Amino acid sequence: MSQETRFVQDIADQEDDFSRWYTDVVLKAELADYSPVRGCMVIRPYGFALWENMRDALDSRIKATGHVNAYFPLFIPESLLKKEAEHVEGFNPEVAWVTAAGDEDLEERLAIRPTSEVMILTMYSKWVQSWRDLPLLINQWANVVRWEKRTHMFLRTTEFLWQEGHTAHRTEQEAQEEVLRMLEVYRDFVETELAIPLVLGRKSESEKFAGAQATYTIEAMMGDGRALQAGTSHGFGQHFAEAFNISFLDMDGERRNAWTTSWGMTTRLIGALIMTHGDASGLILPPRVAPHQVVVIPIFRKDDEEERVREAINEITQRLAGQVRLHVDWSEHTPGWKFNEWELRGVPIRLEIGPRDVAAGQATVVRRDTREKQAVPLGELATRLPALLDDIQHALFERALAFRESRTHQISSIDELAAQIEQERGFFWAVWCGSAACETAVKTRTGATLRCLPLEGGDGVGPCLVCGQSGGKTAIFARAY
């Protein structure tokens, strides 16, 4: 058995057990670990560094659109939460409550925020008095708690990290533009930084966010053909503004209710990253968000060899400063162990340098995605490595896109969907009449949910896949996380 085979033998085979493979990778790559608290995980330093890179890339995009960050309380009084009945009903099974402090019972229960609409919009009712106060564009980076019955690290945990944007607008048109603007921000972030191709669409009435007038989504396909909702943007109309009295004196002297929106992304994107790009050896991280873009592996046996290798690596480190995020592994492990360790952790480029490389004035450069090796002169590393990282980023997106296209099918009936989805999971495009009964029938028979009504592609021509009625809309069905 080879050293590499021995190293990865404890990682489940993707084809045999994709779920176990995913968990094995999360644990062995030290992204996260189980905690003593039911359903909660500890995000380890390597995983948190990945999240920080993702967070910073998204945060800069959010701020570029005119939004600002703030912070709101973790606790929400029960009376406040109940002001919007539909919203409360949608979250009620998942809400965790604080009922006592020390030895005393609280006069009113406090919810640990499952989301912050009611808290933030309560404050907006104080801050918005005139049309001149609008639009109000605020984002929050925070943790939330939803008491999930079944948890899976990063994908669905009792506590998770996210950003939640909440905005208030003067007109319906401005609010709708905001909803779609942030959906596009999400698309750009996920496709550009994470190299994950997306389908943008609108959720059905049964799948939309509790209390929303309309929910828009970005849907991604994972490596097992399942769908993952990667982010959402919601238009609330004037529904929440009426419940929380967010009204303003308009420029014509009339008092009107504001139009509100919200939008969010969570740490489940780390799960999306793993399941989209990972392979039998572990992670493959897109260079733009990888904690380390290049790992340097010193190779030597004797003290004099170590001295020459160390001098060369110090020179390389100085040349690459500010060009790439670089880590040198000076640990006591063997080079072979290090190769496999950093493959597992998904570092995009491995740079090997030993005495022969030093003598030849070069380094061996290995791509994580293809394992292609090439000798690169030391003097060219500062220009060649950034270009190679860009190529890897592009290649990962194209590979994920090709996989999605190979698993996307046009179907015409529920019988066809039921037969195909048992053979191979994927995205199934079909015409849907719009009725909840037909949507439920698909879910009951096939286990697939209506992921979205795509904003692009598909013209809705043909009969509904369930009832045969014409004049429907194109919808995407899939089994999902």
pLDDT digits (tens, 9 = 90+) for 331-382: 999 999 999 999 999 999 999 999 999 999 999 999 999 999 999 999 999 9
Over residues 202-217, the mean pLDDT reads: 95
234 Rama sector, left if φ>0, alpha if ψ -120 to 50, beta otherwise = beta
- For residue 471, the model assigns a pLDDT of 87
Over residues 143-161, the mean pLDDT reads: 94
> Does the structure show a pLDDT above 50 at 2?
no
Angle made by CA atoms 347, 351, 355, in degrees to the nearest 5: 150
- For residue 304, the model assigns a pLDDT of 85
b/e map of 359-380 (b: 16 or more CB within 10 Å)? Answer: eeebbbbbbbbeeeeeebebee
> Does the structure show a pLDDT above 80 at 3?
no
Instruction: Tell me how far apart the alpha carbons of residues 27 and 32 are, in angstroms, rounded to a whole number.
Output: 6
Q: How confident is the model at residue 9 (pLDDT cuts 50, 70, 90)?
A: low
Over residues 446-455, the mean pLDDT reads: 98
> Does the structure show a pLDDT above 70 at 7?
no
Cα 97 → chain centroid? 27
Percent of the chain at pLDDT exceeding 90: 92
> Does the structure show a pLDDT above 60 at 149?
yes
pTM: 0.94
Cα 362 → chain centroid? 38
Instruction: Tell me how far apart the alpha carbons of residues 6 and 279 are, in angstroms, rounded to a whole number.
Output: 16
pLDDT digits (tens, 9 = 90+) for 13-69: 999 999 999 999 999 999 999 999 999 999 999 999 999 999 999 999 999 999 999
**Which residues have C-beta within 8 Å of that of residue 412, sequence separation ≥ 6?**
430, 431, 462, 463, 465
Instruction: Tell me how far apart the alpha carbons of residues 30 and 26 are, in angstroms, rounded to a whole number.
Output: 6
Over residues 162-188, the mean pLDDT reads: 98
Helix (H) or strand (E) holding 114: none
Instruction: Tell me how far apart the alpha carbons of residues 341 and 383 are, in angstroms, rounded to a whole number.
Output: 26
Cα 301 → chain centroid? 43
- For residue 5, the model assigns a pLDDT of 44
Whether the bond between 135 and the residue before it is cis, its omega within 30 degrees of 0, is yes
Over residues 201-211, the mean pLDDT reads: 95
Ordered by where they begin, the domains of the chain are: 3-71+117-277 (3.30.930.10), 294-388 (3.40.50.800), 408-478 (3.30.110.30)
Rounded to the nearest integer, the mean pLDDT of the chain is 95
- For residue 84, the model assigns a pLDDT of 74
Q: How confident is the model at residue 469 (pLDDT cuts 50, 70, 90)?
A: very high
- For residue 73, the model assigns a pLDDT of 98
Cα 220 → chain centroid? 9
Alpha-helical (H) ranges within 285-350 are 303-320, 335-344
- For residue 88, the model assigns a pLDDT of 66
> Does the structure show a pLDDT above 80 at 87?
no
pLDDT digits (tens, 9 = 90+) for 267-318: 999 999 999 999 999 999 999 999 999 999 999 998 889 999 999 999 999 9
- For residue 368, the model assigns a pLDDT of 98
- Return the structure tokens found at 428: 């199934």
